[in-house]
């Protein structure tokens, strides 16, 4: 399983960005960090960041896990500026 990016950075206003996944079979998403959401359609993943009105940077990681082998994962780091 592989992604086309290792990091996604968002402005404080939020927004959405896509991640393309190459996998040998079905995959799932691990825990989604607070302030972010994930939508999956045909192996195209859209990561949505809510507006961040706090002064602090928001960050976390997303794990994409191959269902046939739970040890096979791809990770994308997320970050978002604070307002």
Q: What is the mean pLDDT of the segment spanning 24-45?
A: 92
Strands laid side by side in the 73-80 sheet? 7-10, 73-80, 58-66, 27-29
Give tens-digit pLDDT for 47-68: 999 999 998 999 999 999 999 9
Residue 42 confidence (pLDDT): 81
Please report which helix (H) or strand (E) contains residue 73, including its range.
strand 73-80
């Amino acid at each position: 399983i592989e992604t086309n990016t290792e990091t996604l950075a968002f402005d404080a206003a939020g927004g959405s960005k896509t991640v393309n996944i190459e996998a040998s079979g079905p995959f799932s998403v691990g825990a989604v960090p607070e302030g972010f959401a994930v939508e999956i359609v045909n192996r195209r993943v859209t990561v949505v960041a809510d507006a961040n009105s706090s002064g602090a940077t928001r960050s976390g990681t997303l794990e994409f896990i191959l269902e046939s082998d739970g040890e096979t994962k791809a990770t994308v780091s997320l970050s978002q500026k604070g307002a």
